[in-house]
Structure 1
């Protein structure tokens, strides 16, 4: 008979098992807290839009009633009719689309052109020019209102759409943003290959730079379009022709000195917000898809 002894299976360490259970509990608690914070953030982000829709469907008395009315009312069509009766809505909407789209396209072109040059080419004074660009980015926009108005008036652009489009055709933020994109996403080898094949600067920019910058261009286009769409102060200063008013300056006429129909005002605000949501939905698909593609490549 063999003298080999049968070994008993080793029992799990109670301390280690307890630590594993505690780690699982902590992980579950962390996930619950994370999801709870996300839902709170989503609700806080969506509630202003919900409140805007609620106010646009109620009367002024309902809006200022106590307790506040948080449900939809039956006055949406009435408020929209009042907006259309008091504002040349279609004309101002067309003006705003033209100005915003022109600004977005020009910014995307000129900023990407400058960013591509700063990121992938070497030329005298490159670093100095980029530092000056960053300094202009730090200057508040309100400080440039008076000099910009003087310049626009000297050029005879007061009252014209060019006074809104040309000054906003390029900006330091877009150049800085796209330069960071170009530095990290465009390999130097591609630029060198295009140069060896005989491609000039513009052809290299168009065939190599633009396809690699689609994600940044999508974000910059959305950001610029929304900024131009919501701009109020500068159009109010330079647009003197009522037929050339943008949507924001047209809607401000709904606020009268003696009384204001806030249901009508909120209905006008709702009209101005809906196109922006559509633009974001269309543009964000390209932005998110390019981020995902970059993450997979990395």
Structure 2
């Protein structure tokens, strides 16, 4: 059976797009497995070298990579779980329940998008200092337990995805608010939760500024802060930095693969049922 020209062009475009997307990751492996001199050689070097394990040993000798990965994993997992719970709960309420002041409250919530997160660093640090959380991982987890973007995203999804008839049926059966949220809201919101989970985990994992500020004079160091310590004051060993970066992106790739499969599977299931 002969392939249609349109299909050939489509698959060809997808293949080119995949190569363009994956090339920076391949180049990261190349840089992490060579020396800094090899990285800046002319012509450019695109071959994977044999220095990867030497560079990784150098990384582990300079920073506590295992400790920083563990700290970041604790913060990222805890923050993601809290965001998924609180944001979906608030979004379900805004989307499907009318209560006095709901529109005003949601408008104030959207207004927080206008304020850059950097402006909140000083008052947030002052608050953390007053309650004694400076230098503690709680200062990274609790302030990030809910966010306006997640509530907005989940609300927009819930408004169209959750039929009002299901909620009415649940009320007739005597289900309360929280039971309705658990048994009706959450199953329908799974694709949106998968996206929000990936988005939150990646952002938390890559956060640098707030951990650098609030974990000052602390034994707790997150991964991005640890990687910044690989940079020398006068000389940068790019091969070492890239080796550390390679270790840092492995959990992100795993989370993306797991989360994206869950997201696509639930979207496809919803499309078939519809």
Category of TM-score, reference length = shorter chain: over 0.9
Counterparts in 2 of 1:142 and 1:37: CA distance versus 1, 3 Å? farther
How many angstroms does 1:229 deviate by?
0.3
Q: Write the distance in 2 (CA, Å) between the matches of 1:141 and 1:32.
A: 46
Counterparts in 2 of 1:29 and 1:143: CA distance versus 1, 3 Å? farther
| Aligned position for 1:253 | 229
| Aligned position for 1:76 | 52
| Aligned position for 1:126 | 102
* TM-score when normalising by structure 2: 0.95
Matching residue within 190, 209, 212 for 1:233:
209
Counterparts in 2 of 1:29 and 1:138: CA distance versus 1, 3 Å? farther
Q: Considering only CA atoms, is the larger Rg found in Structure 1 or Structure 2?
A: 1
| Aligned position for 2:154 | 178
| Aligned position for 1:289 | 265
Q: Write the distance in 1 (CA, Å) between the matches of 2:113 and 2:167.
A: 28
| Aligned position for 2:130 | 154
Q: Write the distance in 2 (CA, Å) between the matches of 1:169 and 1:260.
A: 36
* TM-score when normalising by structure 1: 0.87
Q: Structure 1: which 5+ runs fail to align?
A: 1-27
Range with bigger deviation, 271-280 or 129-138: 129-138
Over residues 169-216 of structure 1, what are the superposed CA-to-partner deviations in whole Å (9 max), with x where a residue is unaligned?
Answer: 001111111112211111111111111221111111111111111111
Q: Write the distance in 2 (CA, Å) between the matches of 1:185 and 1:29.
A: 37
**2:267 counterpart SS class:** helix
| Aligned position for 1:100 | 76
Confirm or deny that 1:208 pairs with 2:181: no
Question: Does structure 1 retain, via aligned residues, the 8 Å contact 2:135–2:218?
Answer: no
Q: Structure 2: which 5+ runs fail to align?
A: none
How many angstroms does 1:31 deviate by?
4.7
Question: Does structure 2 retain, via aligned residues, the 8 Å contact 1:91–1:243?
Answer: no
How many angstroms does 1:62 deviate by?
0.2
Question: Does structure 2 retain, via aligned residues, the 8 Å contact 1:145–1:234?
Answer: yes
| Runs of 4+, deviation exceeding 6 Å | none
Over residues 215-242 of structure 1, what are the superposed CA-to-partner deviations in whole Å (9 max), with x where a residue is unaligned?
Answer: 1111111110110000011101111245
Over residues 15-69 of structure 1, what are the superposed CA-to-partner deviations in whole Å (9 max), with x where a residue is unaligned?
Answer: xxxxxxxxxxxxx665554444333322221111111010000000001111110
